[in-house]
Structure 1
Amino acid sequence: MSQITLRDLSAIGVDRLKGVGDKKLAALREVGVENVLDLLTTYPRRWVDRTNECRVSDLQPAREALVLVAVRTVTKRVGRNRRSIVEAVVGDGSGRLHVVFFNQPWR
């Protein structure tokens, strides 16, 4: 069995990969991915750590956090342009939050 080298990977265009059409190809090229080697060596600039839970009372403005809550109430209404607005009150033992989802109806 022959080994695949980095040069081999750089010679394979991402357009040859299954599932990569014109739109995805354009998006990949926007971030500088032209070949399989580029794809394998492109890493996320950041990620959200969703392993550390916090309580509602510990939330801080402008900081991302994972909060496990129970849904207390849900109301749905239609706003302008017939877009749905879903509002909910959620909470844990330490506090409550009022959350709003725009154009994301409950299914």
Structure 2
Amino acid sequence: MAQSLRTLKGVGEKTEKLFQKVGIYDTDDLLHYYPRNYDEYETPVDIAELKEGTVQAVSAAVCSGVYVNSVRGRQIISVNIADQSGKFPVVWFNLPYLKKTLRKGSWFVFRGRIVRKQGKLEMEHPEIFTPSAYEEILHNLQPIYGLTAGLSNKTVVKMVTQLLEDLPMQSEYLPEELRERYGLADVNYALKTIHFPKNKEELLVSRKRLVFDEFLLFI
């Protein structure tokens, strides 16, 4: 049974209105707000292998102090990282708290887009993970949702995760014989896996079931 989004921890009036902008008015809408795409967290490469125009991950140590500059009202945080293959500049925008996180000598996995600025390559606004945290999501498919200004993908992921953890089992309306005949997954498995598939095979299985449901209900 659908409930107000306010029943989810962390959803207040402001966040509720942001969800409404993308057509999510209750928990049932959120459950069926499927990712528009998925991002696969790949094995980190050496700094020397980073290529312009790609999103890549690198496991490296902070090898400089943290520099903070203001340019046109934007606070730019920059630091140099290094591994056995070389050094590389990394920049973030309007994230001053990173100054406390990026201590010289600390080791992280940095994942972001490689761009060319003033003739030099740099990694722009990357995500930061501890090596162990990155290992947990390595090769998993991470959901990417449709968003609106002020609503981050991280927020949607957090709320969907919370919803799925507390979600009661759905009633399976398709007979087992029919599901076996057409190779269809259980509806509960499909609803959870469409948001957080461990691999492409799981994604295809869950998508097949949900597409079948949509066509059946449409007919």
TM over 0.5: yes
Deviation at 1:23, TM superposition (A): 0.8
Give the secondary structure class of the aligned counterpart of 1:48: strand
Contact kept? 1:84, 1:103, Cα under 8 Å = yes
Please name the residue that 2:43 is paired with. 52
Please name the residue that 2:24 is paired with. 33
Matched, 1:99 2:82: no
The root-mean-square deviation of aligned C-alpha atoms, in Å, is 2.7
Q: Match for 2:85: what amino acid?
A: S
The structure with the largest alpha-carbon Rg is: 1
| Rounded Cα–Cα distance in structure 2 between residues aligned with 1:87 and 1:16 | 40
Share of identical aligned residues, percent?
29
CA pair 31-60 structure 1, distance change in 2 beyond 3 A: same
Give TM-score, length-normalised by structure 2: 0.38
How many equivalent pairs are there?
A: 98
The structure whose residues are more often helix, as a share, is 2
| Rounded Cα–Cα distance in structure 1 between residues aligned with 2:38 and 2:77 | 27
Q: Match for 1:66: what amino acid?
A: A
Q: Match for 2:31: what amino acid?
A: L
Per-residue CA deviations over 1:10-62 (Å, capped at 9, x if unaligned) read xx332454442211111111111112211111122234323421221222212
Show structure 2 runs of 5+ residues with no match: 101-219
Q: Which of 41, 44, 61 is 2:52 aligned to?
A: 61
CA pair 22-73 structure 1, distance change in 2 beyond 3 A: same
| Rounded Cα–Cα distance in structure 1 between residues aligned with 2:48 and 2:7 | 50
| Rounded Cα–Cα distance in structure 2 between residues aligned with 1:29 and 1:16 | 15
Q: Match for 1:24: what amino acid?
A: T
Select between 95-104 and 36-45 the one with higher mean Cα deviation: 95-104
Give TM-score, length-normalised by structure 1: 0.68
